[in-house]
Structure 1
Amino acid sequence: MADSWAEIAVNLARVREEIRTAALRAGRRPEEITLVAVSKTVPPEGIQAALAAGVTDLGENRVQELLAKQPELPPGLRWHLIGTLQTNKVKYIIDRIHLLHSLDRWELAREISKRASARGLVLKALIQVNVSGEETKHGLAPGDVPVFYREVQELPGLQIEGLMTMAPFVADAEQARPYFRQLRELARELGLKHLSMGMSNDYQVAIEEGATLVRIGSDIFGARR
């Protein structure tokens, strides 16, 4: 964790500049990329420091932690659930998040549709894709995504905005490029706009390959202790 909350503003300035330069390298507008500050395990005072520095989008991995923090922070923030969502937790977050990054199975899609429709809501979501094929990662295999996407489009109360993936953790971010490129091509084939890909160790490469949302934690808040 950052030694002082003042460091967060400095870290954010550096991250934003790196987002800007990566976008320009790729011939993109920096405004196309949304920075999601991953605030898991960060206490509210640390998050407040990020908000004071202009953060508007927060990412949490766990429903319980997200729900605990929301009352302690200003309204109007855009909350992203980026971790695996258990079906029995859908009812708690259906009206609490801006975007779900981890739609990865039909059972979850049906539960979201049921809960959202009952309340006259539409939940925006990204389909999580396991591009690397690693057994430790969640998500659909790339070949299963087109059929899944067609089927979930028929469900009321659920709107698919794009795709999400996690590349393997590698020492050289360039090694993650093929995985990001594959996700971009899949999104293009399906006509989907948003790509959530890239974290603290590889987000510049992800932006060069088309990321529209990057999930940055340790580069903003420091290493978790």
Structure 2
Amino acid sequence: MAAMNFLFKLSTTNPALHSDCTRSVHSHLRSPHILHNSWLGTKVWLHPHPQPCRLRPPVSKLRPLVATVSFSLPTANPERLSSGHKVPNWSSKAIKSFAMGELEARKLKYPNTGTEALLMGVLIEGTSPASKFLRANGITLLQVRDETVKLLGKADLFFFSPEHPPLTEEAQRALDWAVDRKIKSGDGGEITTTHIILGIWSEAESPGHKILSTLGFNAEKAKELEALISNPGFTDD
């Protein structure tokens, strides 16, 4: 009865909508399922295939999010790769480590991404052979972060790092070392996080090298890593 009264009132205000909503309500009344709701003390009429009413407002569609992902890392001298050598690819874990290093530099409010940030990025990624090797030798993210603050100090509280803190010269050379080392190997594989760690170690005056040395990394450990990447088909998996 309430439904029919509703249709009567609706037809007096907008007759054009009367037929659509009438068919919808009648379809519910022809073959309803009745649910007894003891809490409300009412009966709820359900229909197995309800017809939509045109009074229903349209549902807006949300725009899909678009993300831009970089598949390479910056190199200081890209022209040196054009001498007949195939440009090596960075592994996905190396790219993620670089991004995590940038983020760590921003967290510490540093103006640049240095070798210490690259080192922390590898440890934050956490699943690569290089990260596992460092942890197995007692070098953890918390230790590196503490040593970084001891060595470089705390940034100004009111300083805000850029979205992508630019690389220091030492960090850039470390990445270039990784690229050059991979080209010289001639095996055609990817540049890995292990190459990055060895690149950091090659910069003897850099904060990353000093922190590694303080935490027990030495030439013997570097040779172990060098032996890893010398194996044909070595990957970051």
Same-fold call, TM cutoff 0.5:
no
Q: Comparing both structures, which one devotes a greater share of its residues to strand?
A: 1
TM-score by length of 2: 0.19
TM-score by length of 1: 0.20
Structure ID, larger Rg: 2
Q: Comparing both structures, which one devotes a greater share of its residues to helix?
A: 2
